[in-house]
């Protein structure tokens, strides 16, 4: 039985976890550029895509580890979730991050 060629698959077809289309506010504290604001979308158990709100927003480099805060809607009165994430992809619109989940 032939296995699919992963190189020929689209990134969305290579994902091991399904994505949810939820959109939440997110911030990254960047030592060089201060606090950067994004809209987090395309969540999975292991990562998300951070859409930059303004084309002038600096994007952390691929391979860098960032401190990410995901903010719930105000009416929930929940504190932001804070997690380390590794930047694994960069596009003109934003960055893909992989959550650094430690046992």
Please write the tens of the pLDDT for every residue from 23-69: 789 999 877 778 899 999 888 888 999 999 888 888 999 999 999 99
Q: For residue 68, what are the β-bridge partners?
A: 28, 83
The answer to whether residue 10 sits within a structural domain is no
**pLDDT value, residue 6:** 46
The answer to whether residue 3 sits within a structural domain is no
The count of domains in the chain is: 1
Q: What is the DSSP letter of 62?
A: T
The answer to whether residue 84 sits within a structural domain is yes
Lowest-confidence range among 3-7, 47-51, 58-62, 87-91?
3-7
The answer to whether residue 7 sits within a structural domain is no
Give the residue with greater pLDDT, 18 vs 43. 43
**Containing H/E element for 14?**
helix 11-14
The answer to whether residue 8 sits within a structural domain is no
The answer to whether residue 64 sits within a structural domain is yes
Is 89 in contact with 95 (CB distance < 8 Å)? Answer: yes
Range of the domain at 85: 17-99
- What CATH number is given to the structural domain containing 33? 2.40.10.220
User: 36 phi and psi, to 5 degrees?
Assistant: -105, 135
């Amino acid at each position: 039985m032939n296995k699919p060629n992963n190189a020929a698959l689209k990134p969305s077809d290579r994902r091991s976890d399904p994505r949810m289309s939820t959109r939440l506010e997110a911030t990254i504290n960047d030592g060089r550029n201060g606090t950067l604001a994004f809209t987090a979308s395309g969540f999975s158990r292991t990562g998300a895509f951070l859409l930059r709100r303004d084309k002038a927003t600096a994007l952390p480099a691929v391979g860098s580890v960032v401190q990410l805060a995901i903010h719930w809607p105000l009416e929930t009165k929940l504190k932001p979730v804070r997690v380390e994430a590794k930047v694994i992809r960069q596009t003109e619109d934003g960055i893909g991050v992989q959550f650094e989940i430690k046992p």
